[in-house]
Each structure stands twice: as C-alpha cells, then as structure tokens.
Amino acid sequence: MPLSSSNALPGKAGRLLFTCAIGSICTVVICNALHRPTAPSADEDYTPAVSLPQRAAPKTPPAPTRTTESATVDETFSDAAQSLGIDQGTIATLTEAFASNVDMRRDLRKGDTLSVVYDRPQGSATADDPPLAVRLTTGSSSHDVFLYRDPNGETRYYAKDGKSTKPAFSRYPVAFTRVSSDFSLRRFDPVVHRWQSHDGVDLAAPIGTPVHATAQGKVTFVGRQTGYGKVVMLENPPPYSTVYAHLSRFAKGIRTGGTVQRGQVIGYVGETGWATGPHLHYEVHVDDVAMDPLTVDLPGDDRLHGEERQRFAREAEALSAELNG
C-alpha cells in the first residue's frame, strides 16, 4: 500500500523512492538529505556552498631602471657630485677612487663633466644608492670607475681592468691651503741662498694641523735633523718611503721601530728647521729616489681575479655602454 507523508520520519528531510515489487507491495526507501552528497554528473550544474579562495599569481619584481645623469663642474667636484644626489661619504670615496688619475685641486677645471649611472628611475636616487658607475671627464680625458660587490657583501669601486681604485697610498698627508713650494730638481733655496734640489713639496697649513701617514709603514726615524727640524720618516710597502718635516710636535705613541697605519696622525704642522713659515714638507721616495708627491704613481690596493674578474668585466662593459649613451 502507498506510504503517506505521515509515515515519514519526523524532522527528517528527504525524498521517497518507490520500488514496486511482486503484487501490490512496494518498498519505500528513505534517503536522508544529511548524507554526504555524491559528485555531480557531467550534465549537472553544481556550485559549492563555499567558494575557495584563488591563489594569486606570484608577482614578478620590476626590473631595475638604469638611468644616466650628468653634471657640469662649476666650482668643485663635491658640488657637482652633490647636484647628482651623491652623499658626502660616497663623494669622499670617489675622490679617493680618482686620486691616482686626477688631482682634484690641480687638474679639475670649470666645464669638466661628471656622469653617473644609477639603477633607479631618474631623480629618485638616495644616499643609500651609490652610483653603479662614474665617469669624470677632464679636458679630453675620461676616467671611469665601477661599483662591485664581492661575495662577502663589501662594495668597492674598481677601474675597468679590475684594479681596485682604493689606493694603498693617500695623495696628501694634510689638509693644506696651498702648495707653497713645488718639487724641483733645481731651485734657489731661500734659507741657504744657493741652488739645490727640492726633494718634496711644501704644503702650507696652520700650525697644529694634524699630519697623517699616507700609507702604512714602519717608523725609521723620529726626531730632529738639520734643515728638516722635527721630522718623521716611514718605510712604506716596497719600494716606497715617505718623509714628513718641519713638524711642531709628534703624535703620542710615534717612536722609531713602531708601525703606523694609513691615515694615522703622526704629528702636527709647524715651522721647525729651515722653514720660512708654517707648512709641511712632504717627500715620497721610490727605490730611494725622490719623486714628485703630486704626480707619482700610487699603488692600488688589490685586483679582482678569476670568476670575480669575469663577472665584473661583463658588468663593467654594460655600464660603459650606459655611460657612452
């Protein structure tokens, strides 16, 4: 007999499936809707009750934008560099990097140009973004340096041939106001009143101005000598040696046989000995031969080799193309 709706289980939602058997007897199967649904067939529409969140496609970081910018030297290298957004620390590093080729006091002229390559959009460079490449053009000569980060994360500027631009020597031992007397193989000495060589340069500066060792070395003499007055002599990495004369006093701890580091204060400007005014007399000797301190070739710190050299060469070539425009 047919099953009325009153025969369904109370509180259960479902549907009745009637299967007719022998005679008039029917079996009624109640399928509870709370049972787990089966997967829909291909011709059924099925929308899940909850939409699953879609995973966003990974974003590709924007490629660096390299920009070349230039400035004309009006007064100083520092002014031109600052106009390009270069911070003071990097300016000092670049001044040192160019020191073996360009004397900023003597060689730089109004109208020379400074060009830099950044890997940022134009005008967005900050103090934390040193230029990847820098070109200083003085007259008809151009000098390039390129920033390289070694496997240890240290950055340094190198010449295109992979040689470090950080010199083992500083060009100047003191913050001077002017060159009061040049290096000369023959000049008239104003003190002894005769013609003789002047084996160094005289760098005028106020009494008491700190004098720095231009390279690491061993102190071979500290004391007084005729003509030099109070003097410090250093034996630097072969074949170099240096002399610092007419000092007013020596720095604490400077003694014969001791060692000093590049940049260390070794004394203070004075006018002892045969000096006609306060200045530092500075000499550079190569294989015991006096050379002009303002033009002598200064040794670099080191050079890239092997895979580092190859990787640097590829990058320097690309940056050179950027500088060439």
- The pLDDT tens digits of the residues spanning 236-279 come to 999 999 999 999 999 999 999 999 999 999 999 999 998 989 99
Q: Write down the pLDDT at residue 16.
A: 38
pTM (2 d.p.): 0.56
Residues 6+ apart with CB under 8 A from 222: 231, 232, 233, 250, 254, 255, 256
pLDDT-derived band at 204, boundaries 50, 70, 90: very high
Q: What is the pLDDT of residues 77-129, one digit of tens each?
A: 999 999 999 999 899 899 989 988 888 888 899 999 999 999 875 555 554 67
Residues of the chain with pLDDT > 70, as a percent, come to 74
- Provide the CATH number for the domain formed by 67-167+302-324 in this structure: 3.10.450.350
Tokens 């190569």 -> residue: 286
Closest CA to 86 of 71, 104, 66, 105: 71
Is the peptide bond prior to 48 cis by the omega test (within 30 degrees of 0)? no
Token couple for 108:
């730089």
The answer, yes or no, to whether residue 201 has pLDDT greater than 70, is yes
Q: Coil, helix or strand for 81?
A: helix
Q: What residue has token string 């967005």?
A: 124
- Asked whether 272 and 248 are in contact (CB, 8 A), the reply is yes
CA 163 to chain centre: 15
pLDDT number for residue 189: 60
pLDDT at 233: 98
Quick one: tokens of 84? 């390009």
Give the pLDDT confidence of 18-71 residue by residue, as tens digits. Answer: 333 334 444 333 334 444 444 444 444 444 444 444 555 555 555 557 899 999
Average pLDDT of the chain to the nearest whole number: 81
Same CATH topology for 67-167+302-324 and 178-291: the answer is no
Is 50 exceeded by the pLDDT of residue 7? no
Residue entry with tokens 């103090």: 127
Q: Which of 7-11, 127-131, 315-319 has the highest mean pLDDT?
A: 315-319
Which of 119, 57, 111 is closest to 80 using CA atoms? 111
Give the mean pLDDT of 277-299: 93
Q: What is the CATH number of domain 178-291?
A: 2.70.70.10
Angstrom distance (rounded) from CA 224 to CA 245: 9
Residue 184: its pLDDT value, please?
84
Domain limits, the chain:
67-167+302-324, 178-291
The residues with which 32 forms a beta bridge, in sequence order, are 14
What is the share, in percent, of the chain residues with pLDDT greater than 90? 54
User: What's the pLDDT band for 72 if we cut at 50, 70, 90?
Assistant: very high
Q: Partners of 113 in the beta sheet?
A: 72, 137
Instruction: Tell me what percent of the chain is helix, strand and coil, each rounded to the nearest 5.
Output: 10, 35, 50
Please state which of the ranges 119-123, 206-210, 302-306 shows the lowest mean pLDDT. 119-123
